[in-house]
Amino acid sequence: MVMRPRPKASTPTSPSNATSARTPISSPSGTSPMTSGTKTGPRALTVAPAELPSRPPRRRSCARRRLSASALSRRLAHLAARRRVQSAPPLREERGMATQARSGATFANSIEWANAPAVDAPLIDGDLPGPRSQELFDKTQQYQYGSYFQMVNALPVAFTHGEGVTLTDADGNRFIDFTQGHMVAALGHAHPRITEAVANQAGRLLNVRDFPTDVRVQLMERLAAITPGDLNIFQFFNTGTEATEAALRVARAATGNHEFLAFTGDYHGRTTSAIATGMGNPATGPRPSGFLTVPAAFCYRCEYNMTYPDCGMHCTDFAERLMLANSHGKLAGIIVEPITNGSGARTYPDEFLPRLREIADRHNMLLIFDEFATFGRTGTWFAAEHYGVVPDAVIIGKMLGNGIPISVLCVREGLKDALQQTQPSTTNGGQPAACASAIAVLDTIEEENLLEHTRALGEVSLDRLQRLRDAHPSVGDARGKGLLLALDFVTDKESRQPSHEAGRLFYKNCLERGLVVSGGGNNTRVCPPIVCSEETAMKAYAIAEDAIDAMERELGYV
């Protein structure tokens, strides 16, 4: 941590100096970075530097000044780390460190702003990771272990900042980012409008527990205007896992039952109940009772060795029969991702979700859609809109905060009493800065027509990835909707056997070439931010194809 010098008590601040100290920071032109076409928030607060009184140095005895060998070693390491931070060379200006927002340049629209730093990206100087990235990774391993993304080990790049559709690492290398932190910063990193909204709110109010706030009311009114059906009752959390747990509790309260039907390949979180509803790790132990997971309608690798549409949607019929055979008469709900996230953008036949709605209605169960990843990313606000299905509850988040943690459980009005029974209070859920960020996100998407842009770019992107699939023996499937897209790597196209090795090497090759994708196995998500331009997207897909070529040569596909 860099220490600020303490003002001398003997040097009073003159009135002129005080005025100077309170002059707000502005752009060179005296205008706000946010100009026409966007809303502007209240002017930033200005805070004068605090006058701190001097104090006499503390006297210590000789005995207290003596340090043990281990304490001395820790102290010297701490001082060395401080010197490294203070003396670290600045990142190269030619690599786009000065953003338009910081320089006061005019903000025209999100797409133009977000893609400006990608004009000359990627820029990779030397092998990865660079020395500063490696140092940060080593320090991370010293204090944190096992909780970071497994593919970081393959190429441990440490990022220091992002701008629009790009990321810059600790060594000044610039990347095109097609992950946005697990699809969170979908409007680009450090978006000026969102940054301004959060900063302004942070200067007003950050937490008042469950008391009403103006920004939370504004956000709820905005959400009520776009949610399907009468999903107009909201509860706020920080993560998708929390919202999932809350949805399960609402279903229990509404039905008086505790049994749930879920689907393999779906991901709903890592708490004990959430992980029982889909993708799970055997290390977590057996699933809690009351959760039944069955294969979904994933036609590319049908678990029943059938072919759609001749199968007659056998998977949903079998799921219902298996559910009834294993139930103790305590059915509470069905939870599903309309389009999967963790298992690689699996899309389903048009009949799948309507069939689940019928099953839920037939057995007096709640239908819960986990749209934490799909919200705003598929070309509509909700993926459910593509299928004409209104669930009883829906979970949203991720890009809603564009990097500020926020999740929302939306339930239909008839479930408000059940929601109340669950006492769904959280310490930071719906805190004002997160609400301010979400309002700025919704405003930007609506005013700049980014849902339509997402649909159009999604169609072009899927076509490009499918042509890439057709040209490469290692790519078995290219799928998705909107800008939630993925490639599925196989050992060969006939068997469709997943190839985790090909997926891992593709991920590493992309990163070495300056493209950040989300890998971890045979499924690799290739998800442009919704402010990505077609030009930047095509550049990224060319990098992806080059990475596949190199992977196939190394693994002997060609």
| SS3 assignment, position 252 | helix
Which of 216, 287, 226, 267 shows the shortest CA–CA distance to 430? 216
Q: Are residues 492 and 524 in the same domain?
A: yes
pLDDT of the chain, 558 residues: tens digit per residue: 334 444 434 444 433 443 333 333 333 333 333 333 443 433 333 334 344 344 444 444 434 444 455 555 555 554 554 444 344 444 444 444 444 443 334 578 999 999 999 999 999 999 999 999 999 999 988 888 765 566 788 889 999 999 999 999 999 999 999 999 989 999 999 999 999 999 999 999 999 988 999 999 999 999 999 999 999 999 999 999 999 999 999 999 999 999 999 998 877 777 777 777 776 665 666 777 889 999 999 999 999 999 999 999 999 999 999 999 999 999 999 999 999 988 899 999 999 999 999 999 999 999 999 999 999 999 999 999 999 999 999 999 999 999 999 999 999 999 999 999 999 888 999 999 999 999 999 999 999 999 999 999 999 999 999 999 999 999 999 999 999 999 999 999 999 999 999 999 999 999 999 999 998 689 999 999 999 999 999 999 999 999 999 999 999 998
Same domain for 231 and 371, yes or no, is yes
Q: What pLDDT shows up at residue 190?
A: 97
Q: Which pLDDT score, from 0 to 100, does residue 9 have?
A: 42
Which of 424, 447, 470 finishes a domain? 447
The answer on 389 and 292 residing in a single domain is yes
pLDDT at 102: 39
**Range 252-256 contact pairs with CB under 8 angstroms and sequence separation of 24 or more:** 252/332, 253/418, 253/419, 253/421, 253/422, 254/332, 254/366, 254/415, 254/418, 255/331, 255/332, 255/333, 255/364, 255/365, 255/366
* Whether residue 440 is found in the same domain as residue 457: no
Identify whether 367 is part of a domain: yes
For 353, the enclosing helix (H) or strand (E) is helix 352-362
Identify the domain containing residue 466 by its residue range. Answer: 111-177+449-558
Specify the number of domains making up the chain. Answer: 2
Let me know whether 443 and 453 are in one domain: no
pLDDT of residue 1: 38
Residue 28 lies in a domain: no
361 & 454 share domain? no
Residue 97 in any domain: the answer is no
**pLDDT computed for residue 150 by the predictor:** 67
User: What pLDDT is recorded for position 210?
Assistant: 86
Give the pLDDT of residue 17: 41
One domain for residues 412 and 297: yes
pLDDT of amino acid 281: 60
Do 411 and 545 have their domain in common? no
Any idea what the Cα angle at residue 387 is, between residues 381 and 392, rounded to 5°? 75
Round to whole Å and give the CA distance between 313 and 317: 7
Q: Where are the beta strands (DSSP E) in 60-211?
A: 159-163, 166-169, 174-177
The answer to whether residue 534 sits within a structural domain is yes
* Structure confidence at residue 266 (pLDDT): 78
Per-residue pLDDT at 288: 78
Cα end-to-end distance, the chain, whole Å: 52
> Based on the domain organization, do 116 and 169 belong to the same domain?
yes
Same domain, 481 and 550: yes
What is the predicted pLDDT for the residue at 27?
35
Q: Tell whether 59 is covered by a domain.
A: no
Answer whether 413's CB lies under 8 Å from 233's CB: yes
Same domain, 492 and 471: yes
CATH code for the domain of 310: 3.40.640.10
Q: Do 473 and 557 contact (CB within 8 A), yes or no?
A: yes
Q: Are 222 and 444 in contact (CB under 8 A)?
A: no
Long-range pairs, 43-51, Cβ under 8 A, ≥24: 44/196, 44/199, 44/200, 44/203, 45/200, 45/203, 46/22, 48/18, 48/21, 48/22, 49/7, 49/21, 51/7, 51/9, 51/13
For residue 479, tell me if it sits in a domain: yes
Residue 199 forms part of a structural domain: yes
Angle at 140 between CA 524 and CA 202, to 5 degrees: 85
- 447, 465, 496: which is the final residue of a domain? 447
Q: Which residue type sits at 288? A: P
Question: Of 393, 422, 447, which one is at a domain's C-terminal end?
Answer: 447
CB neighbour list of residue 526: distance below 8 Å, 6 or more residues apart: 178, 461, 465, 485, 486, 487, 517, 540, 541, 544
CATH number of residue 149's parent domain: 3.90.1150.10
Query: Rounded CA gap, 395 and 252, in Å?
Result: 16
Query: What pTM value is reported for the model?
Result: 0.81
Helices 534-555 and 450-471, interaxial angle, to 10°? 30
CA distances, 323 to each of 261, 290, 335 (Å): 7, 10, 13
Residues forming a β-bridge with 367:
334
Tell whether 276 and 361 lie within a shared domain.
yes
Residue 442 is assigned to a structural domain of this protein:
yes
